[in-house]
Structure formats: structure tokens, C-alpha cells
Structure 1
Amino acid sequence: MHFHGYEWAGDGRLLAKEPERRPSDDAAFRLSDLPPLMTGWWLLRPASQIRGTWDTFAEAADWLAERYAEHTPGGDPWLPIATRRRRAADQLARASDVVWSRWLSDSHWSGHYVVACPNRAWPNIRCPAEHTIA
């Protein structure tokens, strides 16, 4: 098992474009940069959308913490980043996907996603990067 990282930030109102966020036979889903409705569906997207790949859950959790801190100036008043990172590492160690997202303003959304690959919820989806562990 390994982990792929994805991210999306933009006008949160675009998230209402659900057809682009659901797998379909046309290219709309594959070519969209909007986050899929299900985390495992990221693996159906082109490898070019992957922002990082890690063989350990700790490395993936570190990436989440770094990206979230960059997109959340001043931090999260409800959950310190160190606690957030520990919880993410625990989830990832159990092959569960992790999503950290939030509204940054009235319309600006930021989301960071780490997806286990192969994915337990979507075992028939192949690795988009054909990743092999050395």
C-alpha cells in the first residue's frame, strides 16, 4: 500500500457541479480538476493530478500538515495542527483516506486529500501512477 496526495482550492460554489465530480463515460469527470464526491474516485483521475506519493503514512500525514498550514494562515482554532497530524497518521496507518478541507472565506474553499492505494473501498480501481514500492 502507498498513498497519493491531491488538493483543490478555488471558488467553493463550483463544487455544486456534481456531474463533473462523479465518474462517467465521457471525459468531463476525468478532465475536471474539481474534487470527486468520493475520495477513492481520485484514483480514476489522471496521474497528473497527483501532488505527491508516499510509501509511509507518516510522510503522507506530514504533507497534509504542511499543505494545510500553508492554506490556513493562523491555524485552526478548534484543532491544533499537531493533533490533526497525529489523527491523520493514525487513520492512514489503518488504510483510511483523509480529507482536510475548509472554507477560507465566503466563497473560497480549500481541500487536501490523501488516498490509500490500493483503496479498500474501491478495490477494482487501479493505481493511476502504476506505483511500485522499491
Structure 2
Amino acid sequence: MQLHFHGYEWAGDGRLLAKESERRPVEGGGFRLSELPPLMTGWWLLRPPAQVRGTWAAPADAVEWLAGRYEEHTPGGDPWLPIEARRQCAVEQLAGASDVVRSRWVSDNRWSGHYVIVCPNKVWPQFSCPMR
């Protein structure tokens, strides 16, 4: 299967991230239908196809989506790392078959996370593509 990339996102009350049973693929934990981000990035591939926000063949296209989503939830960017440096780093990571995560607290209780997951995933090769 040709390497490609799936985008996922979650924004909400960060206190919900404590619901680990929904964030781990264990029997009876509600993981599969949960919208909460999994504890491991590759576990996104175990979620239903409806949770995929986009699929791309080229790292640069996936990074464009990621940058747009991150900018929407982080107006003005991050003072620690300029957006262009973030973009370049993300393209290199995806080209090297590594997942990319852009997440942060956007207020006292609000968490915003955006994820681009490599598929097939080198860390989790047993997981099939969610779009098949």
C-alpha cells in the first residue's frame, strides 16, 4: 500500500482527556466510538472512517491542512516556533514516515489537537487503513 496521510482533530474541554478508558483500545472502554484523541498517535487508525478529516498522498498537502487548522485554533501562531519552521519540520517528519501532532491548551480548560497520521504506520504496521 502506498504511503499516505490521514488528518484528525479534536478540540474541547481538556479535563475530558482524563477519560483514559476512552483513549486506549481496551475491551469495554468506549475507545472505538470516542472522539477523544487516543493516547498513542497511531491508534487513530483504529477509529471509524468518519473521524478522518482528510487524506493526502503528499506530505506538503497534509501540512497545509494541519497549518490551517492550527492557525484557526491558535491565532497569531506560537511565539516559540514560527509557522514556516513548523511547516518545514512537519513536511520532513511526514516524509520520514513519522506522525505529526500540533496540540495545545487554548484557554484554561480548552484543548485543541490536530494530528496527521502516516498510513500504513511504521510503529503500528498491524493496523489497516481506516478508509478501506
TM-score range, shorter chain: over 0.9
Match for residue 94 of structure 1 among 93, 96, 105: 96
Deviation string, structure 1 residues 27-73 (Cα, Å, up to 9, x no partner): 60001000000000000000000000000111011111111011101
Per-residue deviation, 1:97 = 0.2
Q: 2:4 is matched by which residue type in structure 1?
A: H
Equivalent position of 1:129 in the other structure: 131
Number of residue equivalences: 130
Equivalent position of 2:79 in the other structure: 77
> Contact between 2:24 and 2:38, CA under 8 Å: does it hold in 1?
yes
The alignment-based identity, stated in percent, is: 70
- Structure 1 runs of 4+ with >4 Å offset: none
Partner SS, residue 90 of structure 1: helix
Q: 2:53 is matched by which residue type in structure 1?
A: R
Per-residue deviation, 1:26 = 3.0
Partner SS, residue 92 of structure 2: helix
TM-score, normalisation: structure 1: 0.95
> Contact between 2:21 and 2:29, CA under 8 Å: does it hold in 1?
no
Aligned pairs for 1:14-93 within 5 A:
14-26=16-28, 28-93=30-95
Tell me how far apart the structure 2 counterparts of residues 80 and 65 of structure 1 sit (CA, whole Å): 11
Per-residue deviation, 1:75 = 1.4
Q: 2:8 is matched by which residue type in structure 1?
A: Y
Tell me how far apart the structure 2 counterparts of residues 26 and 45 of structure 1 sit (CA, whole Å): 15
Per-residue deviation, 1:14 = 0.4
**C-alpha RMSD of the superposition:** 0.8
Tell me how far apart the structure 1 counterparts of residues 129 and 84 of structure 2 sit (CA, whole Å): 30
TM-score, normalisation: structure 2: 0.96
Give the unaligned 5+ runs of structure 1.
none
Q: 1:72 is matched by which residue type in structure 2?
A: T
Give the unaligned 5+ runs of structure 2.
none
